[in-house]
Amino acid sequence: MTLPPTSSQAAALEALVRAEHGDPFALLGPHRQESGRPLVIRAFLPHAREVKVVDKGAIVATLERIHPEGVFEGEVPGRFEPFAYRLWANFESGACHEFEDTYRFPPVLGELDVHLLAEGSHLEAYERLGAHVREIAGIRGTAFAVWAPNARRVSVVGDFCEWDGRRLPMRKRHGCGVWELFVPGVGAGSRYKFEIKAASGALLPLKADPCARAAEHPPRTASVVAPPELHRWRDGDWMTRRAEANGHKAPISIYEVHLGSWQRVPEEGGRYLTYRELAERLVPYVVEMGFSHIELLPITEFPFDGSWGYQPIGLYAPTSRHGSPDDFRHFVDSCHRAGIGVLLDWVPGHFPTDPHGLGGFDGTHLYEHADPRQGYQPDWNTLVYNFGRREVANFLLGSALFWLDHYHLDGVRVDAVASMLYLDYSRQDGAWIPNRYGGKENLEAIDFLRRFNELAYSRHPGIMTVAEESTAWPGVSRPVWLGGLGFGFKWNMGWMHDSLAYFARDPLFRAWHHNDLTFALLYQYSENFLLPISHDEVVHGKGSLLGRMPGDAWQKFANLRAFLGYMFCHPGKKLLFMGCEFGQPGEWNHNTSLDWHLLAQPEHQGIRDLVRDLNHLYREQPALHRGDCDPAGFRWLEANDSTNSVLAFLRRSPENQGKTLVCVGNFTPTPREGYRLGVPGPGFYSERLNTDSACYGGANIGNAGGVTAEPVPWHDNPWSLVLTLPPLAVLVLESEG
């Protein structure tokens, strides 16, 4: 028999049934009583008609209804300590169920977890926050945990509780502001969100789990309890040697891919390829083409297809558009076993305003700055992370480390670094807040990026980090201990802009813009540069790479071949967006497949064959890659012939490995016979590659396999070559010495 509730207990019960009680464990579950009375058990089961307590198959107590909304209570005769009971309930629908009581289980987080989470130094917070299938006290279920320190109440809701926020209110760990709950019987594949009541009493839109490891296929927005990892990795050989493949002297040639539009399945309504299908199709293609790495446009879960992944919601979940987390592991493993590295395009700078996302997460500006002059990014209508808040920084750092750890990724390319570094980025005067010294540098973001690089390289040696940074910020790819940001490489946006501007001009006017091609060498070795021809260069009205080229159809293809030859000869690692390797004529469209049918046309096949051969030449010749980040690997032979729009330079390995290469470009449609070029040594210079070769669709003008140097001094060199320079073409000559 139970006693009637006191006035304070009655008020607590009212708060519980209104889903406003901030400490459900104070009421629900087993509770010891004073004065030698037996253990009392309470349960809140809306729509239940009767509730009983079961121990080892036997009914040991019947609970009485103490609130009309479905709160039941009763003593268990002869029991004074909590025990492993189950509940049996008969519901208004007529259904009867026996089940574990969520509120008899202990806390999910340990005291050390609480301390580290509060400190913002829990580098494996993703192993505690989110949803994890676990076994507690011999019972299988899912442990949920979410950071929402300013909420009045948080409940986990899902199919398992009919999305009723009253059913599964969570326990708050006040030391770190995390709400937690172990829900027995909930397993992998279960859909869920968090129902959060703000301190003001306002009920917020249901929130997806910031640390979810899986999510529904958009446009649906629920988080999904991910299954435990079952994939058995077979990439041990790659992992032991990847440091060499990712180093400054390695031949790094990256194929940038949007998985949703590389190829589709037209006979099945144009659906996406799965991760496993991509392993079967994309990986062999990349190997054949000679690329060393694949960079994936963001595959962290995102709601809007048109953002291409750059407005993510789930920084710990591979998008469900292509399959499960283990399917993605299979894809990465397949890349590694084929000798291909995988880079993640990662977006820690901003996040979208979707109501189920991070914005106003617990009713306050939790992840973002409260002041829109700091917390709103007008370019993309997104919110900016508060990098100075230790829990937010820890959340972001954990995301990067999670992908490197759980998915064996080989590197991280950080998007929009400039927007993070500058407080006035894309803002008018008066629309930004200076730092504490009155400057425009975002000191908190700088500290965050440095910490990110320190952790990434220390915890995962052999990986690479790459910055998309479009300004002259010094030391982006210099070590933190030297005052740099600590990235391994930086995108050379200046080279990209100048070289594309040059090749887009009619050759008649290129003589007056010769410095567009030479200027990049003035700062080439100030950073460890990567030369990017990315997705950003083939969208938003810019036209395709082929479409930018001037002239008639033949000249367009010749210009493109010359540009690609120039790019692969120029110092710097390479990145080429999908479709550019075969001269797709139209802008990239994320909603459709690439125009693979164009490969039936010889001119497009020629571009593809050229890129394949350039990749293999770049990888096979130490002269073309070992000096990418070392000035000893480059020397001008002819930088000043603007009249003829001719450039020539040497590439060599700083350690004198392999042969010296002479790279010559003629960027006019006029063939040049008898062109004398100074070289440092004697011997025969074989023609290793000619972008005007007939096999690439060119006119086949060249040097009949090579040229022998003459003892005629020219331009401060004791020897010289007399060359035939094909029109709109690049030659690569190999010295025998």
> HSE on the CB side for 599, CA within 13 Å?
10
Q: Which of 75, 415, 609, 734 is catalytic?
A: 415
Partners of 86 in the β-ladder? 54, 100
Tell which of 193, 224, 255 closes a domain.
224
- Cβ-contact 387, 448 below 8 angstroms: yes
Please, what is the Cα angle at 18 between 12 and 19, to 5 degrees? 90
Calpha distance 240→234 (Å, rounded): 12
93 and 187 fall within a common domain: no
Please check whether residue 505 lies inside any domain of the structure: no
- Indicate if 415 belongs to the active site: yes
- Contacts for 316 with CB less than 8 Å, ≥ 6 apart: 126, 130, 210, 211, 212, 213, 300, 398, 399, 402
pLDDT, residue 6, reads: 63
Among 404, 525, 389, which Cα is nearest to 453's?
A: 404
Q: Are strands 529-533 and 573-577 parallel, antiparallel or unpaired?
A: parallel
Mean pLDDT by 10 residues, the chain (737 residues): 62 88 92 90 93 94 93 94 94 91 95 94 94 95 97 96 94 96 96 96 96 96 95 96 96 98 94 97 98 98 94 96 97 98 97 96 96 92 96 97 97 96 93 95 97 97 96 96 97 97 97 97 96 95 94 97 98 98 95 96 98 98 96 96 97 89 98 96 96 97 95 95 98 89
Q: Distance between CA atoms of 40 and 33, rounded to whole angstroms?
A: 7
Catalytic status, residue 673 = no
DSSP letter at 213 equals S
Structural domain includes residue 25? yes
Q: Are residues 145 and 218 in the same domain?
A: yes
Q: Which helix (H) or strand (E) is 145 found in, with range?
A: strand 139-147
In a shared domain, residues 169 and 75? no
The domain total for the chain is 3
Residue 479 lies in a domain: no
Amino acid at 98: E
Residues 118 and 220 in one domain: yes
92, 154: one domain: no
* CA separation for the pair 139, 106 (Å, rounded): 12
Task: Please check whether residue 199 lies inside any domain of the structure.
Answer: yes
139 shares its domain with 173 = yes
Quick one: tokens of 80?
């004074």
> Which CATH number is 18's domain given?
2.60.40.10
Residue 422 pairs in a beta bridge with 441
Q: Which residue do the tokens 């999904």 mark?
A: 224
- Do 127 and 72 share a structural domain? no
State the DSSP H helix or E strand holding residue 399, giving kind and residue range, or none if neither. helix 390-406
- Residue 554's contacts (CB-CB under 8 Å, 6 or more residues apart) are none
Domain range for 73: 7-104
Instruction: Let me know whether 216 and 157 are in one domain.
Output: yes
Closest among 4, 28, 30, 3 to 15, alpha carbons compared: 28
Q: Which of 57, 79, 104 represents a domain boundary (last residue)?
A: 104
Give the pLDDT confidence score for residue 1 in this predicted structure. Answer: 47
Residues 633 and 667 both lie in one domain: yes
Is 427 within the bounds of a domain?
no
11 within some domain: yes
Beta-strand runs (E) in 273-408: 293-296, 300-301, 314-318, 341-346, 350-351, 376-377, 382-384
Q: Please name which of 227, 213, 222, 144 lies closest in space to residue 183, comparing C-alpha atoms.
A: 144
Name every residue whose Cβ is closer than 8 Å to that of residue 345 and which is 6 or more positions away in sequence.
295, 296, 297, 298, 309, 310, 413, 415
CB 403 within 8 A of CB 346: yes
* Interaxial angle between packed helices 390-406 and 443-459, expressed in degrees from 0 to 180 and rounded to the nearest 10: 30
Question: Domain boundary residue among 64, 86, 104?
Answer: 104
Residue 724 and residue 649 in one domain: yes
Question: Which tens digit of pLDDT belongs to each residue from 135-180?
Answer: 999 999 999 999 999 999 999 999 999 999 999 999 999 999 999 9
Neighbours of 375 (CB within 10 A): 18
Q: Could you report the per-residue pLDDT of 305-324, keeping only the tens digit for each? A: 999 999 999 999 999 999 99
Q: Are residues 72 and 123 both part of a single domain? A: no
Confirm whether 417 is domain-assigned. no
Q: Please provide the DSSP assignment of 625-640 as one string.
A: HTTTT-GGGEEEEEEE
Rounded CA gap, 608 and 612, in Å? 6
Q: 75, 301, 468, 613: which is the annotated catalytic residue?
A: 468
Measured between alpha carbons, how far is 262 from 658 in angstroms, rounded to an integer? 36
Distance CA 400, CA 456 (A): 8
Same domain, 25 and 98: yes
What local confidence, expressed as pLDDT, does residue 35 receive? 81
Would you say residue 572 lies in a domain? no
